[in-house]
Amino acid sequence: MTSPSVKRALISVSDKTGLAEFAKGLVECGVEIYSTGGTKKFLQENGLNVNEVSAYTGFPEMMDGRLKTLHPKVFGGILCRHDNPSDMQGLEEHGILTFELVVVNLYPFQETVAKPGVTMAQAIEKIDIGGPSLVRAASKNHAFTTIATNASQYAGILAEIRANGCTSLETRTKLAAAAFAHTAEYDRAIADYFAGVTTEDGFPGSLSLNYTRAAILRYGENPHQKGAYYIASNAAATGNIVNAVQLNGKELSYNNLMDLDAALADVKFFKKPAVSVIKHNNPCGLAQADTVEEATRKAMEGDPLSAYGSILGVNRVLDKASAEYLAKPGHFIEAIAAVDFTPEALEILTTVPKWKNNVRLMKVGELTQSSQWAYRPLDGGILMQEADVLEDDSADWKVVTEAQPTDKQREDMAFAWDVCRMVKSNAITVAKDNMLLGAGAGQMNRVGSVEIAIATAGDRINGAVLASDAFFPFPDSVERIHNAGIQAIIQPGGSIRDQEVIDACNKYGIAMIFTGKRHFRH
């Protein structure tokens, strides 16, 4: 099959990123451009001669732009099969021109409904009608018509036209696949919006999650498993690992991505500079301080043994002093995700330590709040819930013991409580001076988690506090906590044995706070 020369392009876009340069390149190649509304005005303002679609069809734009391109003289030129004599004769009889290139992206529906307070009327006006029709028509006829739906495609299309006067069938097929995915995602967003506004609980009647493959990984969790990662269509542009810029190091693995995501999630809540040290998706070290360097040092020293070969998350720009500390002999870091790296820090981390060539350095940009929703896959299904992004108000906490926590203990309890929500249940954290000293994670009973956290804290435990992500079902843990030297506990409360636990704290002079809320992380 011979690819038709690109003689004419129909351009109608909402997002005009890169459009002026692309259109100028097309004109230089002798391509005639037809356009509508705001796109036509934009191209003319950039010095381009553009044919008006309404002048060509003989039918004016109507209804505030709702009706512009839905005309046989437009769709006939897109859908015609260039090797079909009947199709081409029909065009000639009715004065229809061919359009070998269609450049369309759609009204920003997703962006509009994501804004707070948007009304149904405002949302409806961002439902594109002509755009999806043009995209689908061009995609259906990709044997002869090239469809562009994203600015990232412009350069490749223009390069082929400059070289050959046309695009290849392989390119047109790939572009058609991308275009059908684009309209499917668009329609799914509209369906989800209407399902959401027509239900009382806010959950859509049906759920379709749209992701684009970003990379094929070397393997999954284990070498015998294949792996890939995908980016959600509504993912924030910054503040997450999927849109981070890799500044150094080897290719990211499946487990790297899991741990980097956890590392960022663990520091987003903190207002001060904070650093997390992640091992197997749990924080083995976490600290906040007045400087990034101090937070880095305290986080790494929380559990030095586990910190070897760890992954770090930093909620600030990583600076020279922090890099100098990390590059000291005896430290080994797999990857670091930070808002950014100073030039001095980047120089140190990529030239000084033995692991300089391998460490993955990920610039994530300003951290943003996590998604409103959280999903967990099941075999044959999926769980959906509101994300646990609730910021607890300490004014709602209740001291339930005779002993009252000191101001210093309250500060450490608040920190330990914030860290505890990051640890897999049953979660126990021991902290002092805004520094995690020990964590018990993922144990089948709370006593086991207590033992692990206390053992990890070691002889630093005197004066520390302990947080539990759920209530203590029995008072035996309190006795163990007392014997270790801890004098303050923070937990949700809510057990039928609460009074027994309170009595045990009173017996040992331990101060205890009930938060009234729990933060399980299964």
pLDDT tens, residue by residue, 164-203 = 988 999 999 999 999 988 888 878 877 777 776 656 576 7
Closest among 493, 462, 500, 457 to 479, alpha carbons compared? 500
Residues 348 and 247 in one domain: yes
Q: What confidence score (pLDDT) does residue 67 get? A: 61
Domain termination site, one of 321, 347, 363: 363
| Number of compact structural domains in the chain | 3
Residues 30 and 172 in one domain: yes
Residues 274 and 402 in one domain: no
Q: What confidence score (pLDDT) does residue 199 get? A: 60
Residues 329 and 457 in one domain: no
Closest among 320, 323, 296 to 307, alpha carbons compared? 296
**Tens-place pLDDT, residues 51-83:** 887 777 766 666 655 665 667 778 788 888 888
**200/171 Cα distance (integer angstroms):** 45
* DSSP letters for 191-258: HHHHHHHTSSSS--SS----EEEEEEES-SSSTTS-EEEEEETT--SSSSSTTPEEEESSPPPHHHHH
Domain assignment of residue 202, yes or no: no
Residues 182 and 54 in one domain: yes
Q: Report the percent of the chain where pLDDT is more than 70.
A: 95
Structure pTM?
0.75
Residue 286's CATH number: 3.40.140.20
**199/462 Cα distance (integer angstroms):** 53
Domain assignment of residue 94, yes or no: yes
Domain assignment of residue 222, yes or no: no
Range of the domain at 172: 8-197
**Tens-place pLDDT, residues 80-124:** 888 888 878 887 888 888 889 999 888 776 776 777 777 878 777
Q: What confidence score (pLDDT) does residue 289 get? A: 97
Mean local confidence (pLDDT), 405-419: 95
Residues 139 and 256 in one domain: no
Residue 301 has pLDDT above 90, yes or no: yes
**Tens-place pLDDT, residues 16-29:** 888 999 999 989 89
**194/236 Cα distance (integer angstroms):** 22
What order of strands is seen across the sheet that includes strand 8-12? 51-52, 32-35, 8-12, 101-104, 146-148
Residues 81 and 170 in one domain: yes
Report which residue type is found at 452.
I
Domain assignment of residue 207, yes or no: no
Domain termination site, one of 347, 363, 379: 363
Domain termination site, one of 363, 382, 414: 363
Residues 63 and 177 in one domain: yes
Residue 71's CATH number: 3.40.50.1380
Residues 83 and 193 in one domain: yes
Which positions are catalytic?
140, 280
Q: Token pair 């805004």 is at which residue? A: 434
Residues 407 and 454 in one domain: yes
Domain assignment of residue 32, yes or no: yes
Domain assignment of residue 2, yes or no: no
**Are 9 and 103 spatial neighbours (Cβ–Cβ below 8 Å)?**
yes
Domain assignment of residue 230, yes or no: no
**285/313 Cα distance (integer angstroms):** 11
* Collapsed DSSP state (helix, strand, coil) of residue 136: helix
**Are 227 and 254 spatial neighbours (Cβ–Cβ below 8 Å)?**
yes
3-state secondary structure string across 488-510: EEEECCCCCCHHHHHHHHHHHCC
Query: Using 50, 70 and 90 to split pLDDT, how confident is the model at 435?
Result: very high
Q: 341-353: string of b/e by CB count within 10 Å (b at 16+)?
A: bbeebbebbbeeb
Domain assignment of residue 114, yes or no: yes
* DSSP letters for 58-107: T---BGGGTBSS-SHHHHHHHH--TT-HHHHHHHHHHTPPP-SEEEE---
Residues 317 and 461 in one domain: no
**427/411 Cα distance (integer angstroms):** 19
